[in-house]
Amino acid sequence: KAGVTQTPRYLIKTRGQQVTLSCSPISGHRSVSWYQQTPGQGLQFLFEYFSETQRNKGNFPGRFSGRQFSNSRSEMNVSTLELGDSALYLCASSLGGLTDTQYFGPGTRLTVL
Amino acid sequence: AQTVTQSQPEMSVQEAETVTLSCTYDTSENNYYLFWYKQPPSRQMILVIRQEAYKQQNATENRFSVNFQKAAKSFSLKISDSQLGDTAMYFCAFMNLLSNFGNEKLTFGTGTRLTIIP
């Protein structure tokens, strides 16, 4: 069974731009969650989608948004990029939600210049 | 708000030794899950072990076991017979269970970088 895939793997943007990251979950998984990993703040939960609906949300500003499609693939969008948005963005999929084993993707490394 | 504290930023042990990673958490909730995740160098994060708060028995997975002390809000990970492949960043995580969705989230500690020395 294929694992969680994330595209692109690396991205360089400038301040003020917007970016869209993509995550393809393991087949059959209906929950996709997103995380931001930085050296300073560590791993922080962004949000979780389940069956095309945002079910849980962390403490991030509205510039961070996401969506999930009927095939469970998910996208995360960050608008008006700031230098502090530079991070490794991880997505994870699971069968039923955050209490289930999370299967993580390799991440997208975003650099904001 | 939930917080998870890992007080050991780095640890190193000789191969085949036993090592214990500490984790404490703070919550006012009674129903929750605790996890240990492992992030090897340049590889994807994977689940090591999980514990439901309502279960008194400590979880074990082969060489990995936890010491769950609910009253003390402590959740340590013991790795027995450590192997070179155990070298990784280890994250303790907490997941609250609420009656309504919306505010559930996984809260991670800052991680412990474990190095197994040959």
A18-59 pLDDT tens trace: 999 999 999 999 999 999 999 888 899 999 999 999 998 888
B27-85 residue pLDDT tens: 888 889 999 999 998 888 999 999 999 988 899 999 999 999 999 999 999 999 999 99
**pLDDT given for residue A99 in this prediction:** 86
The predicted pLDDT at position A103 comes to 94
- A105–B103 C-beta distance less than 8 A: no
- From chain B, pick out residues whose CB is under 8 angstroms from the CB of A3: 44
What pLDDT is stored for residue B100 in this prediction?
Answer: 60
Nearest CA in chain B to A3: B44
Residue B16 CA to residue A41 CA, distance in Å, equals: 33
Looking at residue B105, its pLDDT comes to: 79
Closest Cα partner for A74 from A2, A25, A19, A17? A25
Contact between B51 and B59 (Cβ < 8 Å): yes
CA-based radius of gyration for chain A: 13
Q: Å from A56 to nearest chain B CA?
A: 4
Least confident stretch, A18-22, A81-85, B4-8, B52-56: B52-56
Q: Residue B102 has what pLDDT?
A: 66
pLDDT above 70 as % of chain A: 99
Please identify which residue in the block is written with the tokens 């999930």. A68
Residues B50, B59 contacting (CB under 8 angstroms):
yes
Chain A CB within 8 Å of residue B61 CB: no
Read off the pLDDT of residues B93-104 as tens digits, 9 standing for 90 and up. Answer: 998 877 566 677
How far apart CA B106 and CA B103 sit, in angstroms, is 10
3-state helix, strand, coil in chain B (%, to 5): 5, 50, 45
Shortest distance, CA B62 to any CA of chain A (angstroms): 17
Inter-chain CB proximity B95 and A98 less than 8 Å: yes
User: Which distant-in-sequence residues (6+ apart) come within 8 Å of A108 by Cβ?
Assistant: A6, A7, A8, A9, A10, A11, A21, A88, A89
The answer to whether B109 faces chain A, any CB pair under 8 Å, is: yes
User: Closest by alpha carbon to B39, among B104, B108, B97, B117?
Assistant: B108
Q: Which of A4, A58, A90 sits opposite B105 (nearest CB)?
A: A58
Q: pLDDT band at residue A14, thresholds of 50, 70 and 90? A: very high
CB proximity under 8 Å: B 7-36 to A? 33
What pLDDT shows up at residue B99?
58
